[in-house]
Structure formats: structure tokens, C-alpha cells
Amino acid sequence: MKLWFFILFILTFFQADHYQKLRNEMVKTQLEANGIHHPLVLQAMRKVPRHLLVPGNVRHLAYEDGPLPIGYKQTISQPYIVAYMTEAIDPKPGMKVLEIGTGSGYQAAVLGEIVAEVYTIEIVKPLGEKAQKDLAELGYKNVYVRVGDGYKGWPEEAPFDAIIVTAAPDKVPQPLIDQLKEEGKIIIPVGPNANTQELRLLEKKKGKIRTTSLFPVRFVPFVRDSLSHY
Ligand code: SAH
């Protein structure tokens, strides 16, 4: 009996080490090599077990340089985009951040490693519920998941230091702008369809919004009607 426990321990240990190596490689070749340099972002992406947040059938692809399906016609962005968006809000340990589009919970976990509190909203109920369970199992006590329409933001917890939106609306939802702190940042893909979206950075200065267009992106659409029938 004791021997079995020992073998299991060794196997688990080597598997964890295997994924750690893949993460270190991902950070080096996909992130650092492409200009991501924020030490806390790199540290978080070396740590969060992306393979435990994606569906089992794509686990072996978790650290590849590409997006992955997470079910319900949704996708998790490629690691570079997650890192880029996290770096763009200039995350700091004391911050309170809102994410719209929890999906697998990966982006929320990366934020959870860096900032004080993460509030994340997912419109597809089973995805939100699964992410909540997975994040709790991984020990993220500072990440709060809500199932609902992220268009309205999370007024009870506003204002936020930063907001990350991971689905693309036609235009930036006004409630999110209203729930952003002075000097705060929103990073969001905007555009009517996947071929014409661009990533934008919004900054609030003296109550006014300054917008910077970054580069073309492809995100799943930001939807308004509840998909709770899934
Ligand atoms: N950040 C996620 C990727 C999410 S993909 C991750 O790290 O895995 C975008 C997600 O946004 C999808 O799960 C989609 O269901 C969700 N979504 C789309 N419109 C939404 C809305 N109005 N409110 C909340 N979530 C929304």
C-alpha cells in the first residue's frame, strides 16, 4: 500500500514538473520573445496551470501558441494575448479588477496571482459555474465569479482600477466606463465581426476617456441575451 502511494507521488511530481517546463518554455518563446516584460505578468503566467482550466480533450495543447475551444462555441485566447491584455492595464498588487467573459477562468487566475481582487462575469451559465469551481479548487480566494450579462458591469463592487473585456462588443458598454476609477484603464476588443475587430485601450483622465487603437484581433462576440438555456 505504502509503495503505491510512493509511486503515485513520484508520478504526480514528474507530471507537475513536466507542465512547469512547458510553462517556462511558453513564457520564454511566446511572451518574452515578443516583448512582454512586466515581471508580475511573466511570473503569473509561469505559475497558473492553464492545462487544468481547459477541457481535457485539449489539455495537451494548453501551452501551445494559439487559442483553444472551451465548449459552448467559446474560446480561450492564446497565451500572448492574455499576457498582452494583462500587461496593458499595468496591474499592481493592490488593485481591484473587473473581467467580462470568464470563459475558462484562465485570465481571471492570471489576474488573481497579481492583483488584490478580481470580479469576473460570464454569461454562459455552465462555463461560469465550471470556472468558479475550478478556480476555487486551485485556491483562488480573491477571484469572484458571477453568472450574468457583463454589459451592466458589477455596480455593487465598482469602481474598478481596471477592466478587461474578453469578448467583442460593437462599442464599449457605457456602464463599464462609468464603473472605471479615475486614472483607470479598460482593455477591450471592439468591432462588429471577427474580421474587423481591434483591441483598444481606454484611459480615464479627469473624467474624460482617451482611446488608443492597438492592433487587429479576433474574439468571440459579446452577446446580450442570456445563454442560460445551455
Ligand atoms: N477570458 C476567458 C476567455 C473568454 S472567451 C478565458 O480566460 O478563458 C469570451 C467569453 O465571454 C465567453 O465565455 C462568452 O460566453 C463570454 N461573454 C460573451 N458576452 C458576454 C456578456 N455580455 N457578459 C459576460 N460574458 C460574456
Q: What is the CATH number of the domain that holds 33?
A: 3.40.50.150
Q: What is the pLDDT of residues 190-211, one digit of tens each?
A: 998 878 899 999 999 998 999 9
Distance CA 97, CA 184 (A): 10
Assigned domain for 91 exists: yes
- The rounded Å distance from CA 67 to ligand 1 centre is 14
Helices and strands counted in the chain (H then E): 6, 9
Is 213 a known active-site residue? no
The answer to whether position 204 is within a domain reads yes
Residue 118 belongs to some domain of the structure: yes
Residue 149 CB neighbours (<10 A): 18
Q: How far apart are CA 14 and CA 222, in angstroms?
A: 40
DSSP state of 83: H
pTM across the whole model: 0.94
Report yes or no on 28 lying in a domain: yes
The parent domain of residue 120 ranges over 2-217
Give residue-wise pLDDT tens across range 58-112.
999 999 999 999 999 999 999 999 999 999 999 999 999 999 999 999 999 999 9
Cβ 150 under 6 angstroms from ligand 1? yes
Please report where in the chains the cell 507542465 appears, as a residue.
19
Nearest to 85 by CA among 153, 167, 170, 173: 167
Q: Is residue 159 part of a domain?
A: yes
The rounded Å distance from CA 201 to ligand 1 centre is 18
Least confident of 44-53, 182-191, 198-207, 221-230: 221-230
